Amino acid sequence: MAESPLKTYRIQGLSCTNCAAKFENNVRDLDGVKDAKINFGASKISVQGSATIEEIEKAGAFDNLRIRDEQEQVTQKEPFWKQKENIKVVFSTILLLISWLLDKQYGDESIMPIFGYAAAIIVGGYSLFLNGLKNLVTLRFDMHTLMTVAIIGAAVLGEWGEGATVVILFAISEALEKYSMDKARNSIESLMNIAPKEALIRRGHHEIMIGVDEIEVGDIMIVKPGQKLAMDGRILKGASTLNQAAITGESEPIFKAVDGEVFAGTLNGEGLLEVEVTKRVEDTTIAKIIHLVEEAQAEKAPSQAFVDKFAKFYTPAIMLIALAIAIIPPLVMNGDWSEWIYRGLAVLVVGCPCALVISTPIAIVTAIGNAAKNGVLIKGGVHLEEAGAINAIAFDKTGTLTKGVPEVTDFTVLADGLNEQDVLGIAAALESRSQHPLATAILKRAEKHDVDYPSILVDDFTAITGKGIKGKINHEIYYIGKPHLFEEVAGLEFSDDILKQISGFQKEGKTVMVLGDQIKPLAIIAVADEIRESSKEAIRKLHALGIEKTIMLTGDNIGTANAIGAAAGVHEIEAELLPQDKLTIIKQWKQKYNRVAMVGDGVNDAPALAASTVGIAMGGAGTDTALETADIALMGDDLSKLPYTIRLSRKTLTIIKQNITFSLVIKILALLLIAPGWLTLWMAIFADMGATLLVTLNSLRLLRIKE
């Protein structure tokens, strides 16, 4: 039997975690639905089964939720003040003011103020009462339940004005909460609208404008100057500068020519481009970023897990405390029933956990969304929190601190009777089988000198992990790799003159390889990889942020490592390492510094990246491995985003702690004021609303953090 289809929908108006849980349960109870899972951060629900959008929307009618297909864009959102729920708040506020004026004018002589207050309660609290009463029947205690009991109690005690005030203030609080959550989610909504929804495609001799869903891999996309790219691809014809800020966060446009990789959502500069489409619309880099960020927003941070667990016991506890305050003093101390019931109702109102429950998710959603807009992909709240607590950072050298585009600077032939063309042909033929970054430097040199290395047959090719490679050409075994490879494998010892040359190159910061057979060395090849301009400044900023230790880990020789490490400004340098050595160092550092980040290219050094507290990949744009495996991916291929990421993470941790502390302190203070009777119902709801609003505004400060 075929499994039910899984379909994802976007939700409009979702701002309360309790409502989200209730909506999820309602959808699960629908006919034909096997399972439903809500993503509160991204405001999405995944439904396994055959329910329609109309049925799902009906399940969320209690909170006026609107449902749309995951891919459907909102053309124009209704202004905040025009939304149906907010119009009701305005109308009930007017009724409250009229009733208050009548009350002042006529006092107890007229029944009109009571009718007015009752009308204000019904208009403003209709949906609140429906939810609260249903919850009471099913013994489900949430903020709707607390509020319903408090308002009904106020009416029974004759405090109609206060009951109406509580309804309106609660409705205002919920409206502001929705507005704030929407603003926090706007970072991702704006990413969704970056790439055009159609593109000019050449098929045969015809150029046609078609929707991105119909574009196939291999189609030729025509991109005119000033247009945005709709799809990922490879440039076939033309050259231009492209603004990639939406993907990588880079402020400066990047020049791209034939064979250059381009991304959907980037802005073309002055050139006309013909681009071969390489990915379908759902697989583009921008689509993956949106998907991963939304999944990340669903991941609960440790602090959020604590709040959720706390809230589960907190609400029933508040109900019991309110009941105790309402009943015990009249029974034990002969207190006035109406007075103590009123105080019990105030406990219910002030005990509403809105501010506490929203304190963590809104901060996480805001921070992850802000990071995505600035070219940093954080794969979940847990990684965001961990990054904020990092004490030490380890860096891979090649492609991380350096540009990762090595070039051959020196090629010295050692054997008599051989010229550079012959020796370079052997070296390139061997390296063409290798995946090592330095292999590209030798291949580029061979192509520059028109060496026909593809025609040279290599047999028995073997990679010698962390040391070099070997292969058989014309029945002769050749080695190319680190100098000590020949001593260990072939038993060769170099002359003092050769050792002096090798040492000289290494002191200049160059990586040295030796090519030789089983009898003698044939050539010394020196390769240099320039340090990135951003590396030194990024590491300086990290030290200024208080990172205790930075270390560079490399398989390169100690001379080259010292030169690059000194230029970058790291505290420590570990050279001539095999992958397992890097893993060992990361484990040792975790014992010493507790939390250690590893920064690499997301492809190499996988064990070290996996073992670190936070694995950070460079150049996530276009690199599927980096996007999938790293905890954090720096989309632009440079380190300048790392200090920003650490600052954002630390600020998020601080704001979460402030929010939780502030929420609990406000509750405790308000509860203490209830005992002597100093806190009225409307003051209690005002305290709760104020706490929710301040927690929200405090979290939205994270949007202001820039690089």
Catalytic residues: 396
What DSSP string describes 471-539? EEETTEEEEEE-HHHIIIII-----HHHHHHHHHHHHTT-EEEEEEESS-EEEEEEEE-PBPHHHHHHH
Task: Answer whether 348's CB lies under 8 Å from 318's CB.
Answer: yes
Interatomic CA distance for residues 536 and 206, integer angstroms:
51
Q: What are the residues whose beta carbons fall under 8 Å from the beta carbon of 109, sequence distance 6 or more?
A: none
Q: DSSP class of residue 486? A: I
Q: What are the residues whose beta carbons fall under 8 Å from the beta carbon of 700, sequence distance 6 or more?
A: 180, 183, 184, 362, 366
Interatomic CA distance for residues 117 and 103, integer angstroms:
10
SS3 438: helix
Interatomic CA distance for residues 555 and 535, integer angstroms:
19
Q: What are the residues whose beta carbons fall under 8 Å from the beta carbon of 661, sequence distance 6 or more?
A: none
Task: Answer whether 514's CB lies under 8 Å from 497's CB.
Answer: no
Phi, psi for 632 (deg, rounded to 5): -135, 135
Q: What are the residues whose beta carbons fall under 8 Å from the beta carbon of 117, sequence distance 6 or more?
A: 95, 96, 99, 160, 161, 163, 164
Q: What Å distances lie between residue 3 and 33, 523, 532, 570, 604, CA to CA? A: 12, 62, 51, 54, 38
Count of residues in the chain:
707
List the one residue out of 530, 422, 526, 533 whose CA is nearest residue 478: 422
Q: Which residue is listed with tokens 């080695």?
A: 479
What residue type is assigned to position 164 of the chain?
Answer: A
Q: Can you list the positions of beta strands (E) in 431-467?
A: 459-464
Interatomic CA distance for residues 486 and 47, integer angstroms:
61
What residue type is assigned to position 536 of the chain?
Answer: K
- Strand order across the 33-39 sheet: 33-39, 44-49, 6-12, 66-69
Q: Can you list the positions of beta strands (E) in 114-179?
A: none
Token pair of 616 as six digits: 């950070």
SS3 474: coil
**Which residues are bridge partners to 234 per DSSP?**
261, 276
**Which residues are bridge partners to 617 per DSSP?**
600, 633
CA 653 to chain centre: 15
Q: What is the 3-state secondary structure (H, E, C) of 355-416?
A: HHHHHCHHHHHHHHHHHHHCCEEECCHHHHHHHHCCCEEEEEHHHHHECCCCEEEEEEECCC
Q: DSSP class of residue 532? A: P
Q: Which residue is listed with tokens 């950070």?
A: 616
Interatomic CA distance for residues 503 and 523, integer angstroms:
15
Q: DSSP class of residue 76? A: S
Q: What is the 3-state secondary structure (H, E, C) of 409-429?
A: EEEEECCCCCCHHHHHHHHHH
Report the run of H or E that residue 299 belongs to, with start and end: none
- Other CB atoms within a 10 A radius of the CB of residue 263 amount to 23
